[in-house]
Chain A
Amino acid sequence: MLETIGVSSMNDLLVDIPQTLRLESLQLPAGLSEFETMAQVTALANRNRVFADRLTFRGGGVYRRFIPAAVAAVTSKPEFYTAYTPYQAEASQGTLQAIFEFQTLIAELAGLDVANASLYDGATAVAEAAMMAYVHTGRNEVLVSGYVHPEYVQVLRAFGEGRGIKVRKGGEPNKKTAAVIFQQPDFLGLLVDPRALTAAAHEVGALAIAAVDPISLAILAPPGEYDADIAVGEGQQLGLPPSFGGPHVGFVACKRELVRKLPGRLVGTAHDAAGRRGFVLALAAREQHIRREKATSNICTNHSLCALAAAVYLTYMGPYGLRQVAEVSFTRAHVLAERLAALPGWELAFPERQFLNEFPIRVPKGSAVVRKLARKGILGGLDVNRWFRELKGVLTFTCTEVNDPRAIDELLQALAS
């Protein structure tokens, strides 16, 4: 190859690099065989403690759910996971169609007009939605109402600072408010009144942004029904393992009049000369590779493979499977809440509020309780006091279809011992 190029050595190809910059070698160990590589990586994996899914009662934005085998069977197809961003539509119809189906599934769940091809996670989805509201209304304050996931709010603040957007927590919206952001159910698992929050936002000309749990939408009124303008959320529960927090998948859906402000990729239908339907990246004029500094967002890619997982999951479940999952979780969580609240000294933190499958409970010596459970192989509730000073001694417990009734018994027995 060197001969074809017309040089005598590899170094002749590196002549443009100043000698003073040249390295002798990298300060890294030498390479390993696959066997040795896996041995080292496995040793690291084994230094982590994995709690059985049925004994995991901790949520806080990441949940253990039943994942049908079909999901990994599809996402591990190399035709999907080793494909590139679908710039060449004719060679990427599988990916493009999967995204188009994902967009439709999310729009159906949210009851809104259009959803995008996905975002990095729930937190960046909230931040991007706030940017949409800022651009749409020309106002530079967003109001975070109630217990929105603290990490979502942190990411929102970091994003907002770049564009001069102020993040206000609590209080009433006013004429400066671009959007009211609320979470349904909220970070603690409690239901809010989305109709009232949406109406209050609209009253002052602000947008209503609902951060929603996608599985809850099998049973709860969808954002479109209560007139929210934008729905966002985290799709981890739709077929993705916890994976220490990522990769997961964010989603955003909105009303028709906001579609041009959507960040990231959008897939639409198109036709070839023979009239066959295909799928293409649409409305690219919003995006950074065309608009550069005037783009609606700097997002170049999405979380395609995770969106594919979500699409397979939702297709597998169908409308009634998804409802079954949500209802079973609901019933078991309520049984768990009742049994925990009956323990001496334990009481529901907000007994007057409704919840679905996660709830806050005041626990005497919460951290000791969690440690005790861990010794029995149970991942107990999440101490939310680290984010909210007023919630001293409050743990949130979650219960889904993977926490069978015997697992609940085991949790109670461990607590009684």
Chain B
Amino acid sequence: MTEPLSFELSRPAVDPPRLPDANVAGPSPADVLPRGALRAKPPGLPRLSEPEIMRHYSRMASLNYSISENFYPLGSCTMKYNPVVNEAAAALPGFAELHPYQDEETVQGALELMWRLEQALCAIVGVDRVTLQPAAGAHGEWTALRMIRAYQHSRGEARTEVLVPDSAHGTNPASAALSGFQVVEVKSGGDGRISLADLESKLSPRTSALMLTNPNTLGLFEREILDIAELVHSTGAMLYYDGANLNAFMGICRPGDMGFDAVHMNLHKTFTTPHGGGGPGAGPVGVKSELVPFLPAPTVERTNGRLTLDHKRPQSIGRVRSFYGNFGMLVRAYTYILAMGGDGLSQASRDAVLSANYLRKLLDGHLEMPHDGPCMHEFVASAHNLTVQDGVRALDVAKALLDREFYAPTVYFPLVVPEAIMVEPTETESKATLDAFAQAVREIVAQAKTDPQGLHQEPKRTPVGRLDEVAAARRINAYLQGQSEDPVLRWKAAAESPS
């Protein structure tokens, strides 16, 4: 089942929607502006009636898997249920209709919410201040590294390297490079945890920071975290926490107490703001006191109950996003924290760890478990045996799960595990769902023995079958090299644009 593009459904006979007229005598653009400034031809937007538009997008919606309908065991992504009360809160006119340049006296409630959210996040991760400005996790990583660099510059230190474990998220090295650092990789040891010996050999006076997530991307807690922190700090470098895995230990322990100096958080993972099919998210960054002067401006300050935006921060790294960040997502996350409370958040993390260990146990023996448990909130299995014995790859398992109405786990990440299948069930799934998922995986593994060919052809029940990305890439290359006029990356009218 597929849906035509709006451009293909467009009909020139459709009248534009009824919109206000000017209702006042005044010039139109053509009266005033020089001809050269004007658009010669209307833009090629489609022309559809409202009923056609609603059907078009409703049919497209039905082509998606989503948390509202499907289990997303997507490792590292914390796809938990998005409480609908969050949406109701963000839609309140007192938030949704606020202009960012209103005078401070008229936005005290919004600033108070930001202040309280900052306090709550400080308490959860164990830091002194938090900036809410970054729009996403990667944006937060980059913001944190800029602060670390500014801090070290202010001390006359020219540190040029950032250490990143080989199991790290791809955004880590990319953020480090964009912050002006050289990236140095640190190896994992046989137990899947960072190798202290390798870390020690890579640390030098050039080291600015170590970027780490804990539990790591294998779902394993870095037991030697306190030694790691001491080692890093002894060289004068800083420790950065990638908050992708924060859902593992809210109320159980805190990155600030482990020795992390800067911590980013993903409100769209841990704090249930919806993923929206790929954003908007929010990636606040918490810091210890020595980094506070370098926070992006403005910060929210509270004196005698009055809230202000502090733009005068001479050592600030500047502004990383317009206005105050993705405020609507901040409202959702704050609503979630209020509803859950300290007790609820602690329970959520415990349940997430329980679910992951339970599911790991159900799958153990069917898929390889390259590292010993217990795991934290997620685990990494491997389809390597299936690949060697039956020619069935992690991707085949993923696609076969789609046919059983489960979204697929994260595959081929982390890179240190061959044919990795990374599973994060989260606390919001029931035991029945976990059992059903495990059953589906077991069936797929059994099918690998009897009918590997069939697995290569899945999914068959999704709106489209496996899409040929190699052929697509070839067509894009031909277009980019000027050998073809088919842009592939957009629709284009066959002859004339639809206007």
Contact = CB atoms under 8 A, between A and B. Distances in A.
A245 to B, nearest CB: 3
A303 interface: yes
Interface string A1-35: 11011110010111111101111011111111110
B110 A27 contact: no
Contact of B251 (A23, A89, A265, A278): A23
Interface stretch (B199-207, B315-323, B440-448): B315-323
Interface stretch (B171-179, B284-292, B385-393): B171-179
Interface string A303-326: 111101001101111111111111
A169 to B, nearest CB: 15
Contacts of B3: 93, 97
Interface string B160-202: 0000000001110111111110010000000000000000000
A100 interface: yes
Interface in B86-112: 87-90, 92-103, 106-110, 112
Contacts of B376: 16
B326 A85 contact: no
Interface residues of B, number: 196
A335 B24 contact: yes
Contacts of B97: 50-51, 53, 241-243
A91 B408 contact: yes
B365 interface: no
B156 interface: no
Given A28-B124, A79-B66, A218-B39, A5 B112 contact: no
A416 interface: no
B467 interface: yes
Contacts of A48: 94-95, 98, 106-110
Interface in A221-265: 221-222, 225, 234, 241-247, 249, 256-257, 259-260, 265
Contact of A38 (B61, B85, B346): B85
A204 interface: no
Nearest to A184: B37
Interface stretch (A114-122, A174-182, A341-349, A358-366): A114-122
Contacts of A161: 146, 180, 317-318
Given A41-B89, A79-B62, A302-B279, A1 B358 contact: yes
B279 A31 contact: no
Contacts of B416: none
A369 B47 CA distance: 44
Contact of A162 (B17, B88, B180, B361): B180
Nearest to A401: B20
Contacts of A415: none
Contacts of B124: 26, 28
B215 to A, nearest CB: 8
A88 interface: yes
A289 B361 contact: no
B416 to A, nearest CB: 13
B94 A304 contact: no
A186 interface: no
B482 interface: yes
Contacts of B241: none
B142 A18 contact: no
A90 B317 contact: no
B167 to A, nearest CB: 12
Contact of A10 (B253, B280, B350): B350
A395 to B, nearest CB: 11
A70 B56 CA distance: 12
A84 B175 CA distance: 22
B323 A244 contact: yes
A330 B323 contact: no
A272 B251 CA distance: 47
Contact of A290 (B39, B170, B253, B472): B170
A334 B361 contact: no
Given A79-B68, A317-B16, A319-B44, A221 B464 contact: no
A47 interface: yes
A293 B141 CA distance: 13
Contact of A245 (B44, B221, B324): B324
A287 to B, nearest CB: 8
Interface string B55-76: 0111011111111111010100
Interface in B271-302: 274-281, 296
A104 B278 contact: no
B476 interface: yes
A298 B413 contact: no
B466 A247 contact: no
B231 interface: no
Contacts of B479: 256
B53 A315 contact: yes
Nearest to A193: B37
A151 B354 contact: no
A380 to B, nearest CB: 10
Nearest to A33: B339
A298 B97 CA distance: 31
Given A293-B183, A302-B279, A319-B499, A16 B220 contact: yes
A331 interface: yes
Contact of A283 (B340, B473, B487): B473
A146 interface: no
Contact of A308 (B20, B28, B258, B277): B277
A83 B280 contact: no
Contacts of B102: 49, 51, 58, 379
B244 to A, nearest CB: 10
B423 interface: no
B490 A104 contact: yes
Nearest to A111: B43
Contact of A73 (B54, B331, B469): B54
B454 interface: no
A147 interface: no
A81 B67 CA distance: 9
Nearest to B215: A16
B223 interface: yes
A300 B171 contact: yes
B346 A26 contact: yes
B32 interface: yes
B328 A243 contact: yes
Contacts of A242: 96-100
Nearest to B356: A13
B254 interface: yes
Contact of A158 (B46, B320, B459): B320
A102 to B, nearest CB: 10
A91 B230 CA distance: 45
B48 A219 contact: no
A44 interface: yes
B314 interface: no
A129 interface: no
Contact of A354 (B32, B101, B225): B32
A405 B22 CA distance: 8
Contacts of B345: 26, 28
Contacts of A283: 473, 476
A363 B63 CA distance: 54
B342 A27 contact: yes
Contact of B327 (A49, A244, A328, A382): A244
A82 interface: yes
Given A23-B252, A78-B66, A256-B479, 11 more contacts: A5-B358, A44-B113, A60-B101, A78-B68, A90-B464, A151-B319, A155-B320, A159-B320, A242-B100, A287-B170, A301-B281
7 contacts: A20-B226, A41-B334, A158-B146, A218-B43, A282-B473, A288-B174, A401-B20
